[in-house]
Amino acid sequence: MPTAALEITDLLVRYGPRTVVDGLSLVAERGRVTAVLGPNGAGKTTTIECAEGLRRPDGGSISVLGHAPGSRAARAGTGVMLQDGGLPLGRTVRDVMALAVALHPGGATSSDLLDRVGLAPVAGTTVRRLSGGQRQRLAFAVALCSRPELLFLDEPSAGLDPHGRRDVWDLVRERSSAGSAVVLTTHLLEEAEELADVVHVLDGGRIVASGSPLELIARYAGSDTVRVTLRRQLAPEEERSLAATLAPCRLERESGAYVVRGAEPASGSASGPDAPPDASRAGSSTAITRAIATWCDEAGVQIVTLRAGGGTLEHAYLALTADAATVSR
Ligand SMILES: Nc1ncnc2c1ncn2[C@@H]1O[C@H](COP(=O)(O)OP(=O)(O)OP(=O)(O)O)[C@@H](O)[C@H]1O
């Protein structure tokens, strides 16, 4: 059996004159969770809708379990969880699950799934009367009930309480361990970091970075990274002065903070003109932290938080996609 459950090659989607997915290629393998991340409007939903057969692309090719997207064979092996769920409002939770299970003989049992997503106590309640999080849990259980080979999850834990989120994560891990390919879109970077084996970051309809969460963190939010928030906004000349103090490390503005990156240039190369300063090689974050503290002290600027090293996927994501402006010296 081929390991790739989903293969997207050179996908192109246009809306009128606008190209919203631009030559995108990715593979989702069986037994792995593949996360597709990106800012609002990056093209995630459009890409996934093409793979689900809901939208016809303008170019490129897509193979779903070896079949055309939307074909009967592709749909038979695919589970889809959409954000709005598309659940029948007048039916009870028990009825909805019984129907879903009946459509997939040999799949999971209704009562087991309801138990696992914490809906057993509201099995007799109509969908209309469920809370937003309960509907989300039900949509997730419905997507899982066929034990699909390929499972599309669109923000599966949006709106869920922390217990619900953990239930969903456990079930996703289980499906993946059982050999399903899981394709996950989410804005919760913690969720992607917890679950994903492979992450693709989209921006402007293109993939700007791919790798495991750890690879992306090491590449874009490495241990030489220092993140600092200050009591007040720096004036442009102060920013230039701080950037000059920290050179050749790069000072960037990111979501209300300053981020200093030293040892690992974004290309991953460790030689050439972008090579790390000696201080970076020998315990960069300590040297950078000291330099920032001294500069702030002399400039009379109070530090609110100063965090060195140990980046997260969120830091890597912000570096890749935010309007991160490098402060010129
Ligand atoms: N039916 C449509 N007609 C015109 N433009 C559209 C249509 N659907 C999506 N778009 C545009 O395509 C671009 C990509 O949208 P898409 O929904 O794929 O983004 P996304 O990455 O899923 O965003 P979000 O995180 O907000 O869900 C956006 O600029 C959006 O405005």
Spatial CA neighbour of 228 closest among 292, 314, 279, 277: 292
Q: What would the pLDDT profile of 293-326 be if each residue is shown by its tens digit? A: 999 999 999 998 887 766 788 888 988 885 544 5
Protein residue closest via CA to atom 17 of ligand 1: 45
Protein residue closest via CA to atom 30 of ligand 1: 41
What angle is formed at CA 206 by the lines to CA 200 and CA 212, rounded to 5 degrees? 15
Pair 164, 117 in one domain = yes
State the pLDDT at residue 214: 85
Evaluate: CB of 41 within 6 angstroms of ligand 1: yes
Pair 202, 229 in one domain = no
Protein residue closest via CA to atom 6 of ligand 1: 15
34 has pLDDT over 50: yes
Pair 211, 227 in one domain = no
How far is Cα 146 from Cα 83, in angstroms, rounded to an integer? 19
Query: Which residues constitute the domain of residue 300?
Result: 223-263+283-310
Number of domains in the chain: 2
Pair 163, 239 in one domain = no
Amino acid at 120: A
For residue 42, is it within any domain?
A: yes
Tell me the average pLDDT across 206-219: 89
For residue 190, is it within any domain?
A: yes
More confident residue, 59 or 142: 59
For residue 274, is it within any domain?
A: no
Mean pLDDT highest for which of 12-16, 131-135, 229-233?
A: 12-16
DSSP code, position 328: P
Evaluate: CB of 32 within 6 angstroms of ligand 1: no
Pair 303, 179 in one domain = no
How far is Cα 184 from Cα 172, in angstroms, rounded to an integer? 10
Question: Using N-to-C axis directions, what is the helix angle for 284-299 and 236-246, rounded to 10°?
Answer: 150
Pair 168, 36 in one domain = yes
Evaluate: CB of 15 within 6 angstroms of ligand 1: yes
Question: Using N-to-C axis directions, what is the helix angle for 162-177 and 132-144, rounded to 10°?
Answer: 10
Distance 258 CA to ligand 1 centre (A): 30
More confident residue, 262 or 146: 146
Evaluate: CB of 11 within 6 angstroms of ligand 1: no
For residue 320, is it within any domain?
A: no
- Ligand 1 atom closest to the Cα of residue 43 is 18
Yes or no: say if 143 and 81 are a contact pair by the CB < 8 Å rule: yes
State the pLDDT at residue 266: 32
Distance 42 CA to ligand 1 centre (A): 7
For residue 251, is it within any domain?
A: yes
In the predicted model, what is the mean pLDDT of the chain?
85
- Confidence band of 22 (pLDDT split at 50, 70, 90): very high
Evaluate: CB of 82 within 6 angstroms of ligand 1: no
Pair 100, 237 in one domain = no
For residue 273, is it within any domain?
A: no
Pair 258, 185 in one domain = no
Q: Which of 13, 18, 45 to mutate to test the pocket of ligand 1 (most atoms within 8 A of CB)?
A: 45
Give the number of C-alpha atoms closer than 13 A to the C-alpha of residue 268, restricted to the C-beta side. Answer: 8
For the domain that residue 171 is a member of, what is the CATH number?
Answer: 3.40.50.300
Yes or no: say if 23 and 11 are a contact pair by the CB < 8 Å rule: yes
Give the number of C-alpha atoms closer than 13 A to the C-alpha of residue 251, restricted to the C-beta side. Answer: 23
Look at strands 150-154 and 181-185 and give their pairing. parallel
For residue 194, is it within any domain?
A: yes
Distance 37 CA to ligand 1 centre (A): 14
Tell me the average pLDDT across 197-209: 95
Q: Which run of H or E residues covers position 207?
A: strand 206-211
Complex ipTM > 0.90:
yes
For the domain that residue 304 is a member of, what is the CATH number?
Answer: 3.30.70.600
State the pLDDT at residue 280: 39
- Ligand 1 atom closest to the Cα of residue 16 is 4
Strands of the sheet containing 59-64, edge to edge, are 18-29, 4-15, 59-64
- Ligand 1 atom closest to the Cα of residue 202 is 21
**Over pLDDT 90: what percentage of the chain?**
49
DSSP per-residue string spanning 228-278: EEESSPPPHHHHHHHHHHHTTSEEEEETTEEEEE-SS-TT---SSTTPPPH
